Amino acid sequence: MNADKDDIQKRLRRIEGQVRGLQRMVEEDRYCGDILQQIASVQKALRSAGKTITRGHLETCVTDALRSGDRERAEETYDEVMDLLYDQIQ
């Protein structure tokens, strides 16, 4: 997980820089189309980071809960995953 953690942190730092760039673009009254393109780029980068984190969560936390044999824990995990996925597509 450390390699994934390092990768996620690097991605988030890049995204942070992109957001700061967006703030400058707005301050400088840059062309709206350019700003919107940068917003789309940030959204894509965030989705990519989210996908990596989701995979890690499924491979570790969810798998552990399902393999535990604890039916209540498994049900809670199912509910959590459904809530997370449903919230992401809204």
What is the tens place of the pLDDT at every residue in 42-85? 999 999 999 999 999 999 999 999 999 999 999 999 999 999 88
Residue 89 scores a pLDDT above 80:
no
Q: What CATH number is associated with residue 85?
A: 1.20.58.1000
CA distances from 35 to 19, 22, 66, 77 (A): 10, 7, 44, 39
- Domains identified in the chain, total number: 1
- 68 vs 40: CA distance, rounded Å: 40
> Helix, strand, or coil here: 90?
coil
Position of tokens 């824990």?
A: 73
Q: Give the pLDDT confidence score for residue 2 in this predicted structure.
A: 67
What domain range includes position 31? 2-89
